[in-house]
Amino acid sequence: MSERILTEVISANPAMIRKQFPLLDQQVNGNPLIYFDNAATTQKPVQVIDAIDGYYRGYNANIHRGIHTLAEKATDAFEQTRSVVRSFMNASSMEEVIFTYGTTDSINLVAQSFGRKFLEAGDEVIISEMEHHSNIVPWQMVCAERGARLKIIPVNDAGELIMDHFDQLLSPRTKLVSIVHVSNSLGTINPVAEIIRKAHLAGARVLIDGAQAAAHLPLDVQELDCDFYAFSSHKMFGPTGVGILYGKKDILNEMPPYRGGGEMIREVTFEKTTYNDLPFKFEAGTPNIADVIGFRTALEFILEISKPLILQHERALLAHAHERLSKIEGLRIIGTAREKLGVVSFIIEDLHAFDIGMLLDAAGIAIRTGHHCTQPLMKRFGIEGTARISFSVYNTFEEIDFLTERLLKIIKIKRR
């Protein structure tokens, strides 16, 4: 199909896409479901559901150790996902693709393994004010243990990193910079290439939290030159309980395993255990086989539509939402970065986000309310939380119009 036709398939005929998501076809509180909570987790296309079902019905077996036919088949399917993930993010080898249980788990792996080995008293880790708690707490833990310090890049009123401040924070003491690629609360796309380049010049390693980016933005870890990149399957049409940690091979090889058990060893005696090679060294125990297999189908779904087209559709939705919402009196959008993606956070005068969320839910619209696991960021904006809508490929312009209509109604009734 030509690009133009494909674009039309998504934006003019979203039914084609929506049809692949059985869950979307339902009524909630008497209204057709509008799912605007995609930054929390996306829905799953039928192919993904079938892949998981097919594994359990057809070839459920433990992997890497069995010699029987089912075990071979399961191992092949599992490793096939690794291969698709490798090419999805253009890692240079399969050894650089580590399966975890999610972004949080990936970050904890780096904190516990890299952090405990390389951080020393007086060293510094730089994060930002807009990080998800998953990219704050693991660093607080390891820094406290190692006597290292956490440094914070502040955020301006538009919700962008203050890069001058970053430049000032970088020093020979900086061991690691860990930054979110796209903010889950604001939608801000951070200048990660610039951050990586500068951090490397200062001799620091860089981890990018790609939880909100991997499904949307082009991803080429070699071009980015990041040292680590973390993301979650469930935010990109795949099942829960699967995450990816990309790491450069030379660094991963220097890092000790952080969980012990089966799969990650070569030989165990009571005197000494030798570890398996990458990536297995970091994959102790039986992994989430079914969901890893399902994840491959999710990635293929994305590749089939093509990432640039998904991005184009999501940008159009974002522009439409901004246009509509900014006309609502008393509504303030939190996060107006020039480079922004997929998420609109807002507050409404005299209305608590919780009330907005509950009232929209009564109309069948699923949104997120609260601090979105970014409490320091909320504090920066002097608010308790926001109402947040976030888009995916199956959302439509009409859904945004319906949301706008409902918001106007809620405000009208409130002001009465």
Q: Which residues are catalytic?
A: 373
Residue 351 in the binding site for another protein (CB under 8 A) = yes
Residues contacting residue 140 through CB under 8 Å, at least 6 positions apart: 150
**Residue number with CB closer to ligand PLP (214 or 331):** 214
- Name which of another protein, ligand PLP, none residue 351 binds, using a CB cut-off of 5 to 8 Å depending on partner kind: another protein
**Residue number with CB closer to ligand PLP (180 or 305):** 180
Report how far residue 299's alpha carbon sits from residue 318's, in angstroms, rounded to the nearest whole number. 23
Pick the binder of another protein from 64, 355, 376, 408 (CB under 8 A). 355
Report how far residue 69's alpha carbon sits from residue 140's, in angstroms, rounded to the nearest whole number. 46
Q: How far does the chain reach from its first CA to its final CA, in angstroms?
A: 52
**Largest interatomic CA distance in the chain:** 76
Residue 16 in the binding site for another protein (CB under 8 A) = no
Residue 56 in the binding site for another protein (CB under 8 A) = no
Task: Enter the tokens of residue 106.
Answer: 């990936």
Stretch that binds ligand PLP, among 131-139, 303-311, 345-353, 354-362 (CB under 6 A): 131-139
- Name which of another protein, ligand PLP, none residue 184 binds, using a CB cut-off of 5 to 8 Å depending on partner kind: ligand PLP
At position 49, the amino acid (one-letter code) is: I
**Residue number with CB closer to another protein (284 or 351):** 351
Question: Which residues in the 162-181 window bind ligand PLP by CB under 6 A?
Answer: 180
Q: Identify whether the C-beta of residue 82 lies closer than 8 Å to the C-beta of residue 94.
A: yes
Residues contacting residue 392 through CB under 8 Å, at least 6 positions apart: 35, 38, 42, 43, 215, 314, 342
- Name which of ligand PLP, another protein, none residue 359 binds, using a CB cut-off of 5 to 8 Å depending on partner kind: another protein
Per rule CB under 6 A, count of chain residues that contact ligand PLP: 13
Let me know the angle formed at the C-alpha of 357 by 351 and 358, rounded to the nearest 5 degrees. Answer: 95
Q: Identify whether the C-beta of residue 123 lies closer than 8 Å to the C-beta of residue 173.
A: yes
**Residue number with CB closer to another protein (102 or 385):** 385
**Residue number with CB closer to ligand PLP (262 or 370):** 370
Residues contacting residue 126 through CB under 8 Å, at least 6 positions apart: 150, 151, 152, 153, 166, 169, 170, 174, 176, 177, 178, 179, 199, 204
133 to 152: interface string for ligand PLP, x by CB under 6 A: -xx-----------------
Percentages helix, strand, coil for the chain, rounded to the nearest 5? 45, 20, 35
- Name which of another protein, ligand PLP, none residue 355 binds, using a CB cut-off of 5 to 8 Å depending on partner kind: another protein
Q: Nearest 10 degrees: CA dihedral of 13, 16, 21, 26?
A: 60
Pick the binder of ligand PLP from 209, 227, 283, 314 (CB under 6 A). 209
**Residue number with CB closer to ligand PLP (49 or 137):** 137
Q: Identify whether the C-beta of residue 214 lies closer than 8 Å to the C-beta of residue 231.
A: yes
Per rule CB under 8 A, count of chain residues that contact another protein: 16
**Residue number with CB closer to ligand PLP (367 or 407):** 367
- Name which of ligand PLP, another protein, none residue 262 binds, using a CB cut-off of 5 to 8 Å depending on partner kind: none
- Name which of another protein, ligand PLP, none residue 30 binds, using a CB cut-off of 5 to 8 Å depending on partner kind: another protein
Report how far residue 387's alpha carbon sits from residue 44's, in angstroms, rounded to the nearest whole number. 24
Stretch that binds another protein, among 203-211, 240-248, 286-294, 363-371 (CB under 8 A): 363-371
Pick the binder of ligand PLP from 43, 108, 188, 212 (CB under 6 A). 212
At position 107, the amino acid (one-letter code) is: I
Burial grade of 3 (CB within 10 A; 0-12, 13-18, 19 or more): exposed
- Name which of ligand PLP, another protein, none residue 316 binds, using a CB cut-off of 5 to 8 Å depending on partner kind: none
> Which residues here bind another protein, judged by CB under 8 A?
29-30, 351-355, 358-359, 362-363, 369-370, 385, 413-414
> Which residues here bind ligand PLP, judged by CB under 6 A?
102-104, 132, 134-135, 180, 184, 209, 211-212, 232, 373
